[in-house]
């Protein structure tokens, strides 16, 4: 009787010989705890950086406003001492020119800090989204935004009652500095024209126009910076998306 031939092994890759795929294992509590700790550390770092920037820019604003106040008082005292003649015009223009330069530098810093503050808010919103991913039920307890888009930013800046755009802009430090800087530059322009013999009425009119131009330029520059930030930012989570 002929010997039976051995059975051929199944071909490589045959589904009947592959072990069943193991189900994905949930991440351990230790991994999740470590991740939460790293996120919290980053969150505290952002909070510290934001606080430092706000403190620094408030000091700059206070310094500029103090210089403006002191400069105007000095001009008044010089006018009384000189009878608004002789070297008074030169001294007044020098003071106003100095204040205009300081105001320009202060405005740039205020605009930069406003952009940085928006950056920190977006970053912290993204971290809150990560907290929600770790523990979805906590989302209902978070007042600030959990999306790093425009909707999340608006919620973080005012999560009880949404402010109007006009209220947000008019109440900002940027508009205050733009207003004061525009006044200083307008006074400088009017004073310069008066010093070279232009009629007072014409000099005042030019000063008002310069004030409006400077104020508008600051507002437009701030708006362009804001739009550029959102044009280049790519949110990871937007309002209405599921985690």
* Residues 103-130: tens digit of each pLDDT: 999 999 999 999 999 999 999 999 999 9
Residue 1: the pLDDT is 43
User: Residue 23 above 80 pLDDT?
Assistant: no
Q: Please state the domain extents for the chain.
A: 32-229
Q: How confident is the model at residue 28 (pLDDT cuts 50, 70, 90)?
A: confident
Given a contact cutoff of 8 angstroms between Cβ atoms, the answer to whether 128 and 144 are in contact is yes
**Average pLDDT of the segment spanning 156-174:** 89
pTM of the shown model: 0.81
**Average pLDDT of the segment spanning 186-199:** 94
Given a contact cutoff of 8 angstroms between Cβ atoms, the answer to whether 54 and 113 are in contact is yes
Residue 238: the pLDDT is 87
Nearest CA among 207, 203, 209, 214 for reference residue 179: 214
Return mean pLDDT, the chain.
88
Residue 8: the pLDDT is 55
**Average pLDDT of the segment spanning 167-173:** 90
**Treating both helix axes as pointing N-terminal to C-terminal, what angle do 173-195 and 29-82 enclose, rounded to 10 degrees?**
20
Q: How confident is the model at residue 24 (pLDDT cuts 50, 70, 90)?
A: low
User: Residue 101 above 70 pLDDT?
Assistant: yes
Residues 47-77 have pLDDT tens digits of: 999 999 999 999 999 999 999 999 999 999 9
Instruction: Determine the Cα–Cα distance for residues 79 and 124; give it in Å rounded to an integer.
Output: 53
Instruction: Determine the Cα–Cα distance for residues 219 and 176; give it in Å rounded to an integer.
Output: 11
Instruction: Determine the Cα–Cα distance for residues 106 and 187; give it in Å rounded to an integer.
Output: 18
Given a contact cutoff of 8 angstroms between Cβ atoms, the answer to whether 124 and 156 are in contact is yes
**Average pLDDT of the segment spanning 161-185:** 92
User: Residue 17 above 90 pLDDT?
Assistant: no
Residue 13: the pLDDT is 47
Instruction: Determine the Cα–Cα distance for residues 117 and 98; give it in Å rounded to an integer.
Output: 29
- Report CA Rg, the chain: 32
- Better-predicted residue by pLDDT, 139 or 13: 139
User: Residue 11 above 80 pLDDT?
Assistant: no
Q: How confident is the model at residue 2 (pLDDT cuts 50, 70, 90)?
A: very low
User: Residue 216 above 90 pLDDT?
Assistant: yes
Given a contact cutoff of 8 angstroms between Cβ atoms, the answer to whether 213 and 178 are in contact is no
Q: What percentage of the chain exceeds 70 in pLDDT?
A: 88
């Amino acid at each position: 009787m002929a010997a039976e031939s051995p059975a051929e092994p199944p071909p490589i890759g045959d589904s009947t010989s592959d072990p069943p795929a193991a189900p994905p294992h949930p991440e351990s509590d230790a991994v999740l705890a470590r991740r939460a700790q790293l996120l919290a550390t980053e969150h505290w770092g952002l909070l510290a950086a934001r606080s430092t920037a706000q403190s620094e820019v408030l000091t700059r604003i206070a310094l500029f406003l103090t210089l403006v106040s002191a400069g105007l008082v000095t001009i008044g005292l010089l006018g009384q001492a000189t009878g608004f003649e002789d070297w008074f015009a030169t001294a007044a223009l020098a003071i106003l020119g100095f204040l205009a330069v300081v105001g320009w530098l202060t405005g740039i810093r205020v605009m930069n800090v406003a952009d940085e503050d928006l950056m920190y808010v977006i970053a912290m919103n993204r971290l809150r989204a990560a907290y929600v991913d770790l523990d979805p039920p906590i989302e209902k307890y978070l007042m600030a935004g959990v999306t790093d888009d425009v909707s999340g930013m608006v919620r973080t800046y005012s999560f009880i009652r949404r402010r109007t755009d006009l209220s947000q802009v008019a109440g900002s430090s940027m508009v205050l500095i733009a207003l004061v800087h525009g006044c200083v530059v307008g006074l400088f322009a009017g004073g310069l024209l008066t010093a070279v013999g232009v009629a007072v009425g014409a000099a005042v009119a030019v000063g008002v126009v310069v004030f409006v131009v400077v104020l508008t330029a600051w507002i437009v520059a701030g708006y362009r910076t804001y739009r550029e930030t959102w044009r280049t930012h790519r949110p990871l989570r937007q309002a209405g998306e599921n985690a």
